[in-house]
Amino acid sequence: MKNYNWPLATSPFTFIDKLVVSSSIIFNDRYTMGDKVAELEKKFSEFSGRKALMVANGSVANHLVFELWKLKNPNIKPIVIVPAVTWISSITPAMMAGMDIVFCDVNLQDFCFDYISLEKIVKENSQNGRRVIIWPTALIGWSPDMALLDDIAKKYNAELFLDSCENTLAEAKANVYDENGKSTKFISILASADITTTSCYLSHYVCSVEGGFVFFKDEKDYEMGRMFRNHGMIRSLAPDNPYRVKIEKENSDIDPQFLFALPGTNLRPSDVHAMFGLRDFNRIEKNRANRIKIYKRFYNNLDFTKYYLPEKTITHVPFCLPIFRMDNNLKAVKKLLSSNGIETRPIIGSNLLRQIPFKKYGNAVDFKNAEWIHNHGVYVGIHDGVSDKMIDNLTGLLNDL
């Protein structure tokens, strides 16, 4: 593999971080899910305002969302509406759960759904008697209009979940319902849907090397999630939990250590990963400010006669530096950056209707904005190693092309 001067991602962990984690490993014998996972869950719960459940990775978090829905809604096959540009691991969990997938084009302002097209799809399927799940992605640092998505969901009795793996630290404009009725305000993006997922992968906002989170609005969903994560065991709940007490009493002929209340599986994280996550969690505000600073310099230096970027918003915490070439010279952009030691990637899956697993779901050219992203976009990574000089060099190369 080529050694890049500007790699896509670098480890955020300092020598002190490694020393603290390795010391904990040396002097303790608990490496599987335990107190460290619980500690990181508590921090994320306080940060988001929601019940936070840690799992093995972000993809597993998505699987848990749809498997729980199946358990709550047996013998029902919903429509899951997904954006044409996102991670494949945002979509395949719903497919593997046996649900029907419908793709919707994206917009070029926040890279979420084309909201007009989305409402038409939701309306049509709801009127045909189908249960509908709206499943947006907070793509590459932008926040979807969660207030608008919530309005659409409630209008057609749909459900709204969110994959926020690429915007963990931002806020979103969302509807808040209280005794005075509905108000719209900015809240943690992790609390802006009924269920939200995020990832703590190496290149993401809060890093635990591997690991993911599910954030629950509903207490019962959270309890089901805890059990499902741990084989469906009732002892995943607190000893005084009313549901646990009830199930153990009704099944007194079964050892409560291995009493399965639902058909779960093993989605557990490890305490080792949580140790890393706890170190990086302490840098949330620093990481957020650094990402915004890097992006601001990039945005201010870029030649917008040659490149496209949406206007900066207060909800945007950049996941990366996206490069959208206005003309059809994207190959030259990638070649130029690679030759200068700068690693790039496509804008996630780009137009997923071009990918082999999804061709049967529609004609790629009918998704015009996803197609434009596919043909015009790449991105460069953001991490602590990115300096002002590197940004100036990058924009200089791009502007001279």
User: Nearest-CA neighbor of 193 among 72, 274, 112?
Assistant: 112
Question: In this structure, are 235 and 129 located in the same domain?
Answer: yes
Q: Buried (b) or exposed (e) across 254-288, using 16+ Cβ within 10 A?
A: eeeeebbbeebeebbbbbbbbbbbbbbbebeeebb
243 with 300, same domain: the answer is no
Q: Are strands 132-134 and 159-163 parallel, antiparallel or unpaired?
A: parallel
Statement to judge: residues 172 and 270 lie in one domain:
yes
User: What CATH number has the domain bearing residue 63?
Assistant: 3.40.640.10
* pLDDT for res 181: 79
Q: Are residues 348 and 214 in the same domain?
A: no
- Look up tokens 């019962």; give the residue: 220
Question: What H or E segment, with its residue span, contains residue 62?
Answer: helix 58-72
Q: How far apart are CA 231 and CA 229, in angstroms?
A: 6
Distance CA 272, CA 22 (A): 9
* Number of structural domains in the chain: 2
pLDDT of residue 312: 85
Q: Is residue 8 one of the residues assigned to a domain?
A: no
Amino acid at 310: P
Which residue type is seen at 142? W
CB-facing half-sphere around the CA of 347: CA atoms within 13 A? 30
| CB-based contacts of 141, cutoff 8 Å, min separation 6 | 166, 167, 170, 291, 295, 316, 317, 318, 319, 320
Q: Which of 211, 245, 279 is the last residue of a domain?
A: 279
Q: Are residue 271 and residue 152 in the same domain, yes or no?
A: yes
Distance CA 224, CA 230 (A): 10
Return the pLDDT at 203: 83
Please give the span between the terminal C-alpha atoms of the chain, in angstroms, as a whole number.
26
Q: What is the DSSP letter of 132?
A: E
AA letter at 131: R
Helix H, strand E, coil C: the string for 17-60 is HHHHHHHHHHHCCCCECCHHHHHHHHHHHHHHCCEEEEECCHHH
Is residue 183 included in any domain, yes or no?
Answer: yes
Asked, for residue 6, whether it belongs to a domain, the answer is no
Mark whether 236 and 349 lie in a shared domain.
no
Residues 146 and 172 in one domain: yes
Strands 79-83 and 100-104: what pairing? Answer: parallel
Relative to beta strand 51-55, strand 212-216 is antiparallel
Contact 312, 296 (CB under 8 A): yes
pTM of the model: 0.95
* The predicted structure's pLDDT at residue 1: 55
Within a domain: residue 345? Answer: yes
Residue 123 belongs to domain spanning: 15-279
Q: Among residues 225, 257, 279, which one ends one of the domains?
A: 279
Computed over its alpha carbons, how large is the radius of gyration of the chain? 22
- The CATH number assigned to the domain holding 355 equals 3.90.1150.10
CA separation (Å) from 105 to 247, 272, 385?
45, 40, 35
User: How many Å apart are CA 347 and CA 378, to the nearest integer?
Assistant: 5
**In whole angstroms, how far apart are CA 271 and each of 46, 280, 391?**
19, 14, 37
Taking residue 377's Cβ as centre, other Cβ atoms within 10 Å add up to 23
Q: How high is the pLDDT of residue 3?
A: 81
Q: Do residues 326 and 207 both lie within one domain?
A: no
In a domain, 230, yes or no: yes
Residues 325, 360: one domain? yes
Structure tokens at 170: 């931002």
Q: Which amino acid is at 348?
A: I
Asked whether residue 362 falls in the same domain as residue 245, the answer is: no
Does residue 365 share a domain with residue 262?
no
Spatial contact of 198 and 61, defined as CB atoms under 8 Å apart: yes
Residue 132 near residue 138 (C-beta atoms within 8 A): no
Q: What is the mean pLDDT of each run of 10 residues along the chain (401 residues)?
A: 85 94 91 96 97 97 97 96 97 97 97 98 96 97 96 97 95 85 90 96 91 97 97 96 96 96 96 96 95 96 97 92 97 96 95 96 98 98 94 98 95
Neighbour count for residue 155 (Cβ, 10 Å): 12
Cross-strand bridge partners of residue 177: 182
Domain boundary among 279, 295, 328: 279
Instruction: Answer whether residue 9 is part of any domain.
Output: no
- Find the farthest-apart pair of alpha carbons in the chain and give their distance in angstroms, rounded: 76
